[in-house]
Amino acid sequence: MHGSTIGQVWQQVIGTQPTPPLTLVLVTAVAALVVVLFGPVWRVARNVVTIAHEGGHALVALLSGRRLTGIRLHSDTSGVTVSVGKRTGPGMVFTGLAGYVTPSLLGLGCAALLTVNHLTALLWIGLLLLAAMLVMIRNAYGVVSVVATGVLLFLVSWFTSATVQAAVAYLITWFLLFGGIRPVYELQLKRSRRQAPDSDADQLHRLTGVPGLAWVTVFGLVAVGCLLVGGYWLVPDLPTFGDLTS
């Protein structure tokens, strides 16, 4: 879109783009899965999941009437969102629940946009969400993480071809869908070793009396469900074994 007028940019954002070939969809799926499974790369890419996680806490806190005071993102890919309001009640429960399910739900939302060929809109919505979150970041590492992610999205959406934009949009979507599952596994692994006494699941246990493991199960079911539904939306015409042998 480099050199385009504002009107042309707007038409590009709200318009639809050509459906990419199935090969691109499948290659980006494999690439995203490798990123999630390969430890050294995951430790860097997980920052994106943390941004989504803390953004989910922040959004639900605001929607439930709490006052958001700040978000911090740390170099170990952990984060914390601080809000002020009642210490008990549905608002706190939904705020606590939002973190681990948000990356997967975002991935599902991205998949929905891709099924109707709004690839550019997906990238620009991501930019807007990052800009809104940046206002509430309260530490240097968090600012760097959000700005760096936003700059990458802007460069892709403004300077690259439709094919590159499609590849990035699908890669982001698959990464959120796959990447929403691994943190849930890591959470339960830490809980089993008693290394996360103040995790979201344990805070929800103290708020509701429902066991922490039950909340981890809810996180996992949402993540797996989003992957299955989102994956079906992205590759609905994938040949089955019967098709290949007939």
Q: What are phi and psi of 107, to 5 degrees?
A: -60, -40
Confidence of residue 241 (pLDDT cuts 50, 70, 90): very low
Q: How far apart are CA 215 and CA 234, in angstroms?
A: 28
58-95, pLDDT tens digit by residue?
Answer: 999 999 999 999 999 999 999 999 999 988 999 999 99
- For the chain, what is the mean pLDDT? 92
Within 10 angstroms of residue 138's Cβ, the number of other Cβ atoms is 14
Q: Which residues pair with 84 in a beta bridge?
A: 67
Within 10 angstroms of residue 37's Cβ, the number of other Cβ atoms is 11
Nearest by Cα to 179 from 217, 136, 230: 230
Cα angle 109, 180, 221 (rounded to 5 degrees) comes to 90
191-225, pLDDT tens digit by residue?
Answer: 999 999 999 999 999 999 999 999 999 999 999 99
Query: What does the radius of gyration of the chain's CA atoms come to, in whole angstroms?
Result: 19
Query: Given the structure tokens 């490798």, which residue do they identify?
Result: 34
pLDDT reported for residue 18: 84
DSSP letters, 15-42, are S--PPPPHHHHHHHHHHHHHHHHSHHHH
Cα angle 26, 30, 31 (rounded to 5 degrees) comes to 115
93-143, pLDDT tens digit by residue?
Answer: 999 999 999 999 999 999 999 999 999 899 999 999 999 999 999 999 999
